[in-house]
Amino acid sequence: MPASLDTVFAALADPTRRAILAMLLEDDMAVTDVAAEFEISLAAISKHLGALDRAGLIARERRGRVVWCKLEPDALRAASVWMQGFGQFDGPDLDALEALLARLAPPPDLLDQLLAAERRVWDALVAGDAGADRAALHPDFLGLYPEGYADRDAHVAQLDDGPTVGTFTLTEARACTPGDGLGLLTYRADFTRIDGRRDAMRVASLWRATPEGWVNLFSMDAPIA
């Protein structure tokens, strides 16, 4: 496979870059407008745009003081021509590509969705609701906490004696999609324990989308001194 095709397929392997392509199928966009659609830094978006540019999938041009991005479908056509050599693929279908990219792109309200799911876990800790806690966690859930590891049963068992949290506030939230059907949420939690002690920590929480909603696969806490 030519090196240029390696670069194209490597660029398409990242969900954020696929989401960017889906946006550019609609119209050219300024770099700042592209960045505004994601919960990551402008520098991170610039790296993704650089990968797409090097693969020939987009072009960047300065218009006045603003850098704009536009889709360049020729690289996709070249990849399609290469695949047709196996005799199993039709010609490039940009309509089908648009539908695929739209399906793979993260939902625009990903952060709100993941925060709502995360708050359900915290609400269960406040209410002492073991059933709600269990429902929010994937059967293979794994937690990594200062005191050690916990599976779903261990996480639920902390509510055997009732609520463990009095109040909580979640701030500084960020979200991204590390893979298809996955959502990664990070945030700061300030809370009071049931005995009145105040505490704070940073949390990273991995969620999977299911027909019933988001379920928690993994969570890690880092106490704030």
**Domain residue spans of the chain:** 3-104, 110-223
pLDDT at 2: 41
pLDDT given for residue 189 in this prediction = 96
The whole-number pLDDT of residue 85 equals 66
Supply the DSSP string of 112-130, one letter for each residue.
HHHHHHHHHHHHHHHHT-H
Q: Please check the confidence at residue 29 and state whether its pLDDT lies above 90.
A: yes
Q: How confident is the model at residue 102 (pLDDT cuts 50, 70, 90)?
A: low
Give the C-alpha separation, 187 to 12, whole Å. Answer: 28
Of 42-46, 80-84, 132-136, 181-185, the one with minimum mean pLDDT is: 80-84
Distant-in-sequence contacts of 209-216, Cβ < 8 A, 24+ apart:
209/181, 209/182, 209/183, 213/117, 214/113, 214/114, 214/117, 214/183, 215/136, 215/137, 215/138, 216/117, 216/118, 216/121, 216/136, 216/137, 216/138, 216/141
- Tell me: the pLDDT tens digits for 151-209? 999 999 999 999 999 999 999 999 988 877 889 999 999 999 999 999 999 999 999 99
Fold observed for domain 110-223 = Nuclear Transport Factor 2; Chain: A, (3.10.450)
pLDDT at 158: 94
Whether 110-223 and 3-104 are alike in CATH topology: the answer is no
The single-letter DSSP state of residue 141 is E
pTM of the model: 0.57
Q: Is the pLDDT score of 1 beyond 80? A: no
User: What average pLDDT does range 122-149 have in this prediction?
Assistant: 95
Q: What is the pLDDT of residue 30?
A: 94
More confident residue, 79 or 8: 8
Range 12-36 average pLDDT: 89
Pick the CATH number of 3-104 from 3.20.20.70, 1.10.10.10, 3.30.1330.40, 3.40.30.120: 1.10.10.10
- Most confidently modeled of 17-21, 34-38, 96-100, 166-170? 166-170
User: How confident is residue 97, by pLDDT bands cut at 50, 70 and 90?
Assistant: low
Higher pLDDT, 162 or 94: 162
Give me the pLDDT at residue 88, please. 54
φ, ψ of residue 211 in degrees (nearest 5): -60, -25
- Is the pLDDT at 100 greater than 80? The verdict is no
The helix or strand, by DSSP H or E, that contains position 47, with its residue range, turns out to be helix 42-54
